Copies of this chain bind each other. A is one copy, B any other.
Amino acid sequence: MFLKAPAAMSSDVMNIAKLAQGGSSEHQIQHRLDILKKWNFLPGSKILEIGCGQGDCTLVMAYMVGDQGHVTAIDPAPLDYGAPMTLGEAQNRLKQTPIGDRMTFCQSNLQEFLDSSASAEVYDYAIFVHSIWYLPSADALQPMLAALRGRTKQLLIAEYSLDVHGDIAVLPHLLAAISQAEFNSRGNALDRNDNIQSIISPRMISALAQKAGWEFQKEDIIESHEGQEDARWEVHRVLSKEYGLRSESSGDASRQGFANSLVHAVAESTRAIGPSPNLRTLPTWLGSWV
C-alpha cells in the first residue's frame, strides 16, 4: 500500500524528508527547495554554506548537488546549542544518512574557516540561507562579504523581505521580527537567544555586497507557502510570557515602553487575522552576485 502525499509535495520533498527523519518538516524542506531551485546550481557543485545551524538547508543542497558535489557547512554556534536536538546531534544525524559523505560540518566563523587548511581554494557558490538575520548587525556582515571575494565564484543570499507583498496575514511575522530586532539592538541585551537578531533589509545587503566588490546579478522573491511554520514560531515567541519578562529586565523606561507597544502591535495584528494557522511567513528575497 502506498501513502498518498499531498498534491503539492514533490518527490524531492518526500525523498529529503525521508533522509531528514523528522529533523526538518516538509514545509521547511519545500521552502529550501523553492529557494535553491531558483539558483539552479549544477550537479557536482562545491558549496560553502555560511550559518548552517542544524543543517536543514545543508541536507537539501547535498541532495541536489549529487554524488560528485559537496557542501561544506559552517556555523560558529556551540555544538551543544539548540533544543530539543542540539546542533551537534542534528549534524551527526545528517552525517549518518546515505548522502552524509556529501556534507562536511565545521564549527567555525567564516574568517577562521577561510584561513584554515579545511577551506578549499575556490568554491562554486557561497550561500547564506536565512542566516543573515542571525547576525548581530549589518556591521558583522560587511567583513564576511569582503572575505569571500576571490574565494567563491558566486555569492547567493536568501533572507526574508521586509515587504509583506500585500498580504495582511504576513504582518504579524514582520512585526514579530521588528520586535526581536529591537530587543537585540539594545547594547545591554543579555540572553540573545532569538531566532532573529537583526532585520537587515535586502537594500542593505545589496549595498554591503556592492561595497565589498561584488557585482550584482539578479534578485527574486519567493512567496512562503501556506503551512510554513516560521511566522507562527516567531509570533508565539514574542507573545510568550518569558519574552515580556526578559525584555523588562533589560532596558530603560522609554525604550521599554516602545518595546511593549511593539508586542501589542504583534498581538493586535495576530488577533485581527484569526486563529494562528492563518499566520503567513514573510516572503523570501534572493540575491546573487559574481
Residues of A within 8 A of B (CB): 136-139, 161-168, 171, 174, 178, 181-182, 184-187, 198-204, 252-255, 257-258, 260-262, 264-265, 267-269, 271-273
- Using A164-B269, A204-B264 as known contacts, say yes or no to A138 and B185 having CB atoms under 8 A apart: no
Q: Which residue of B lies closest to A197 (CB)?
A: B254
Contact B260 A204 (CB under 8 A): yes
Q: How many copies make up the complex?
A: 2
Residues of B within 8 A of A262 (CB): 178
Residues of B within 8 A of A269 (CB): 162-164
Contact B261 A200 (CB under 8 A): yes
Residues of B within 8 A of A201 (CB): 260-261, 264-265, 268
Q: Could you say which of B181, B253, B254, B265 contacts A261, with CB atoms under 8 Å apart? A: B181
Contact A204 B261 (CB under 8 A): yes
Instruction: Give Cα A164 to B198, complex, Å.
Output: 24
Shortest distance in angstroms between A103's beta carbon and chain B's nearest beta carbon? 32
Residues of B within 8 A of A168 (CB): 164, 166-168
Contact B198 A261 (CB under 8 A): yes
Residues of B within 8 A of A187 (CB): 252, 254-255
Q: Could you say which of B167, B198, B261, B273 contacts A162, with CB atoms under 8 Å apart? A: B261
Instruction: Give Cα A257 to B208, complex, Å.
Output: 12
Contact B257 A198 (CB under 8 A): yes
Residues of B within 8 A of A260 (CB): 138, 201, 204
Residues of B within 8 A of A161 (CB): 268
Q: Which residue of B lies closest to A264 (CB)?
A: B201
Residues of B within 8 A of A252 (CB): 187
Q: Which residue of B lies closest to A141 (CB)?
A: B257
Contact A265 B181 (CB under 8 A): no
- Using A164-B269, A171-B164, A268-B162 as known contacts, say yes or no to A257 and B178 having CB atoms under 8 A apart: no
Q: What are 11 A-B contacts with C-beta separation under 8 Å? A: A136-B254, A138-B257, A162-B261, A162-B269, A163-B265, A163-B272, A164-B272, A166-B272, A185-B257, A187-B254, A199-B261
Instruction: Give Cα A180 to B216, complex, Å.
Output: 32
Q: A166-B272, A185-B257 are in contact. List 11 more A-B contacts (CB 8 A).
A: A162-B264, A163-B271, A164-B269, A168-B168, A178-B178, A181-B258, A199-B265, A201-B264, A201-B265, A204-B260, A204-B261
Q: Which residue of B lies closest to A135 (CB)?
A: B257
Shortest distance in angstroms between A9's beta carbon and chain B's nearest beta carbon? 30
Shortest distance in angstroms between A234's beta carbon and chain B's nearest beta carbon? 15
Instruction: Give Cα A20 to B24, complex, Å.
Output: 63
Most interface-central of A181, A204, A257 (chain B CB within 10 A): A257
